[in-house]
Chain A
Amino acid sequence: MVDLSINFAGIKAPNPFWLASAPPTNSGYQIMKAFDAGWGGAVWKTLGVPVVNVSSRYGSVNYRDTRMMGFNNIELITDRPLIDNLREIEEVKKYFPDHAVIASLMVESKAEWEQIIKDVENAGADGIELNFGCPHGMCERGMGSAVGQEPEVLETIVGWVKNVANIPVITKLTPNISEITDPGLAAVKGGTDAISLINTIKSIVGIDLDTYAPLPIVDGKGTNGGYCGPAVKPIAMHMIRELAQHPEISKTPISGIGGVETWRDVVEFILLGATSVQVCTAVMHYGFGIVREMEAGLRQFMEDKNYKTIYDFAGKALPNVTEWKHLNLKHKVIAEINADKCIGCELCYIACDDGAHQAIALSRDRTIRIPNIIEENCVGCNLCSLVCPVEDCITMVKKDDGKEHLTWNEKTLNDEIPVTFNDDRAGGKHHFVPKPTDALKHKQ
């Protein structure tokens, strides 16, 4: 029997699906509705000295027929008085004692931190999340990502918090930094109980072509927003992995955030070491009901793989995520086109010819639109299989016998790597490339 419940750094929840601190967690009404819909936890919209917000606040990147593939916002932390939020936290906990209610916090002075921690503990919060990630507005005032980008300041504040907090502390990191392990390590040194990431990425999602103002537009002007949604998931996954593989950080539980929308996203995050996930954009797009698909999918996956709890597979992908230099240079795949499935769009041909390695030929008989792979030119790059619009039409087929294994690292140690500009050991030395003038052949 699958058990989805978690104990995340001491914060217990019926499942790992949490709402991220964001507009969907602005009020007790929303959080109760979410718990009722099946969410296991919620990080309350960041509390602090209430702000004044602007109108409008959100912008999006649409791709083809997909709305909000990427999303950004310039909304700040809560604009509601603390007392109202505290009362509602208490009320939510009364109705949902087993669900996780985490208070996201952002204040300036040590005294403010100490006071607000006491307040949320009294209200019954199960944990605290330190918002060191917000990359718009609040950072201009020395908070949010301004803290997340200064590991020393971050460590100090985590220390203040840990000194007074009686409930678990999660430090939320900003991705707007070159090495995520720097603030990650600082949080651990400060004594944090857990880390959550990523907060949003500094972004401009669009420019209005009539007013020349960035979106979202506030009276003819705009500012950078925080980018999130499905588009940022790959960046989040990479950063989660970096922390999960770091020897001094890896023991700290990670709550994964960034573009999670489906059960597949959840499983991927867990495989990279996250043991809870936080969701915002998917809920802002589809409402709390989206959790049904996540839960059903996660359960099915666990049943199929025979896992009882998420800890049975948490971090299972980490041993396979390595550095480039450890990849096997003797591994060889080439593309194969299934002629029965091919619809003749020839996107694989033009993608390969213009965008990759000139390893696909059109049929000489132009009444046949099934292209041919030129095996000796194919470097196994995957591009054709990525652009192919038909399910399972182009597959990458393994061609090596699996007996040989040689990495760049080993090659370096064996002194077998190219070292001069015209070194004979260049990987592409014997690879076919058409003559430059062949590009103009159609004009003759």
Chain B
Amino acid sequence: MAEYKRPKSEAEFNKNFKQKKPLMNDTEAYYESSRCLFCYDAPCIQACPTHIDIPLFIKQIHTHNVTGASRTIFDSNWLGNACGIVCPTGVLCEGACVYNHQDVSPIQIGRLQNYATNQSINTNKKLFSVGASNGKKIAVIGAGPAGIACACEARTLGYDVDIFEAKEKPSGLTVHGVAPYKITNEEVLKEVEYLQNQLGFNIKYNTNIKSKQELSALESKYDAIFLGVGLGITRDLGLDGENLDGVIGAVEFIEELKNKQHKLAVPDKVVVIGGGNTAMDAASEAARMGARKTVIAYRNTKEKMGAYGFEYDLAISAGVDSLFNVIPIAIVGKDKVEGVKFAKTELVNGKLQTNMNNTFIVRCDLVIKATGQAKQGSLYELIDALETDNKTRITVDGNTFQTSNPKYFAGGDAINGGAEVVNAAYDGKMAAQGIHNWLNK
């Protein structure tokens, strides 16, 4: 059932994609920050992948030391502003807030964090300085959260840093892949600009490193290389009809949506294949673009979905329907997509099996595949002695983020197969320290 009207203008688009975590005003921040208990060995700090001293920054906000709060946040997490907004705080810091144990609403940590960092960014407050130059250079491949974090940390340690980015904008999936109701591109880009103003790393856009020759050049010119390459395009499902017009990968769909906003035409009937957070985002977005019927189709039960419960609820509240225990077996249509043929699945002896005797077709005009992105395996093959695991994730040392090729370090989706911005931000920062320790051994 359609809950949203088709957006015809930027204003209507913004209304349909209203921010889930709007910026707090001063009064909200004052009262919300007053509630923090300042727990000992606070569970929120432990739950944060970057271990931000959350009770400290909340107390700083409350005592009107917002600059100090912002410094506390960026000290642990270079993408502190973006993370305050896009982090799944309900399962991280806010999920760990002790108030939950007495059914008192947890502190809105993400929004408080954003309140502090936003002020520093908007006033271009200088919080960090470049370290004294040590004459060494680091190349970062990919200007996503991992790469940006690595660059920032390396600059404070005195390295020259060049980032090589395939696209024309920084921030990777934060710009291209995070749902517009979670964060605006403007918000993402201004944080990177703010960091770049202070720390002066270079980003070379539209520079896709993809050949052995290019890698060799980097190897000879730089003392260390950080791989923050993330994931690639959506994987093929290998279905008949997959190449028909009207079949698109979820990340590609979201990227196009974020670029074109209300100018993107989303047809009336949409099927989203997958059960992860990206599937929920894509479905929610299709519904918010005014699709009359959007259906999520997942091969297993609702409980088995990879998506967080709140992401599923958000999609449902946008008017999305769902089908469980169905697997696509073909995409049907002549010149363009006309539907998806599904088979029912069932659990037999603990294994999910497809019942080809029970098939049906769901009519639709657009199929969004949210079934995972391909890894950057072809790039990895070009790097000498670079080990990956059986899921094509780069293997790194857990503390130093060094790969099996000592000159290369890696972090973010390239090593975890796809996780949160905050994980990438942590990896990048730690990798810069890893590089520093390795070069100074």
Point out residues on A near B: beta carbons under 8 Å.
64-65, 341-347, 349-350, 362, 369, 389-390
In the bound assembly, the distance between CA atoms of A65 and B28 in angstroms comes to: 11
Stretch at the interface among B98-106, B321-329, B383-391, B399-407: B98-106
Chain B residues bordering chain A, tally (CB within 8 A)? 16
B34 touches A64 (CB 8 A): yes
With A64-B62, A369-B43 known as contacts, the answer to whether A344 contacts B31 (CB < 8 A) is: no
Main secondary structure, interface of A, reads loop
B382 within 8 A of A: no
B20 within 8 A of A: no
Selected contact of B102 from candidates A341, A362, A369, CB within 8 Å: A341
A343 touches B41 (CB 8 A): no
13 contacts between A and B (CB under 8 A): A64-B62, A65-B30, A65-B31, A65-B34, A343-B100, A343-B101, A344-B101, A345-B40, A345-B98, A350-B40, A369-B43, A389-B37, A390-B102
With A343-B99, A390-B102 known as contacts, the answer to whether A65 contacts B43 (CB < 8 A) is: no
Selected contact of B40 from candidates A65, A342, A347, CB within 8 Å: A347
Residues of chain B with a CB closer than 8 A to A350's CB: 40
B38 within 8 A of A: yes
Shortest CB-to-CB span from B137 to chain A, Å, is: 36
Selected contact of A347 from candidates B30, B38, B99, CB within 8 Å: B38
In the bound assembly, the distance between CA atoms of A345 and B101 in angstroms comes to: 10
Residues of chain A with a CB closer than 8 A to B35's CB: 65
B1 within 8 A of A: no
Main secondary structure, interface of B, reads helix
Residues of chain A with a CB closer than 8 A to B39's CB: 344-347
Contact bitstring B83-123, A, C-beta under 8 A = 1, else 0: 00000000000000011111000000000000000000000
In the bound assembly, the distance between CA atoms of A347 and B31 in angstroms comes to: 21
Shortest CB-to-CB span from B345 to chain A, Å, is: 36
Shortest CB-to-CB span from B93 to chain A, Å, is: 14
Chain A CB count within 10 A is highest, among B30, B34, B40, for B40
Selected contact of B98 from candidates A64, A343, A349, CB within 8 Å: A343
Selected contact of A349 from candidates B31, B40, B99, B100, CB within 8 Å: B40
> Which chain A residue has the least Cβ–Cβ distance from B39?
A345
Shortest CB-to-CB span from A109 to chain B, Å, is: 50
Residues of chain A with a CB closer than 8 A to B41's CB: 346, 362
Other than A343-B98, A346-B39, A346-B40, give 7 A-B pairs with Cβ distance below 8 A.
A65-B31, A65-B34, A65-B35, A343-B102, A344-B98, A346-B41, A369-B43
B37 touches A345 (CB 8 A): yes
Selected contact of B43 from candidates A342, A344, A349, A362, CB within 8 Å: A344
CB interface residues, B 15-52, toward A, < 8 Å: 30-31, 34-35, 37-41, 43
In the bound assembly, the distance between CA atoms of A64 and B32 in angstroms comes to: 10
Residues of chain B with a CB closer than 8 A to A64's CB: 34, 62
Residues of chain B with a CB closer than 8 A to A369's CB: 43, 98
CB interface residues, B 233-275, toward A, < 8 Å: none
Chain A CB count within 10 A is highest, among B30, B62, B100, B101, for B101
In the bound assembly, the distance between CA atoms of A389 and B34 in angstroms comes to: 13
Residues of chain B with a CB closer than 8 A to A362's CB: 41
Shortest CB-to-CB span from B407 to chain A, Å, is: 35
> Which chain B residue has the least Cβ–Cβ distance from A346?
B40
Residues of chain A with a CB closer than 8 A to B37's CB: 345, 347, 389
Residues of chain A with a CB closer than 8 A to B30's CB: 65
In the bound assembly, the distance between CA atoms of A342 and B35 in angstroms comes to: 17
In the bound assembly, the distance between CA atoms of A193 and B99 in angstroms comes to: 53
In the bound assembly, the distance between CA atoms of A369 and B100 in angstroms comes to: 14
In the bound assembly, the distance between CA atoms of A345 and B99 in angstroms comes to: 9
In the bound assembly, the distance between CA atoms of A369 and B31 in angstroms comes to: 27
The 8 closest A-B pairs by CB, nearest first: A346-B40, A65-B34, A343-B101, A350-B40, A343-B98, A64-B34, A345-B39, A345-B98
In the bound assembly, the distance between CA atoms of A64 and B63 in angstroms comes to: 9
> Which chain A residue has the least Cβ–Cβ distance from B35?
A65
> Which chain B residue has the least Cβ–Cβ distance from A348?
B40
> Which chain B residue has the least Cβ–Cβ distance from A390?
B102
Shortest CB-to-CB span from B175 to chain A, Å, is: 37
Shortest CB-to-CB span from A302 to chain B, Å, is: 33
In the bound assembly, the distance between CA atoms of A111 and B62 in angstroms comes to: 55
> Which chain A residue has the least Cβ–Cβ distance from B99?
A343
CB interface residues, B 31-82, toward A, < 8 Å: 31, 34-35, 37-41, 43, 62
Residues of chain A with a CB closer than 8 A to B43's CB: 344, 369
In the bound assembly, the distance between CA atoms of A233 and B43 in angstroms comes to: 36
In the bound assembly, the distance between CA atoms of A362 and B41 in angstroms comes to: 11
Residues of chain A with a CB closer than 8 A to B34's CB: 64-65
Shortest CB-to-CB span from B101 to chain A, Å, is: 4
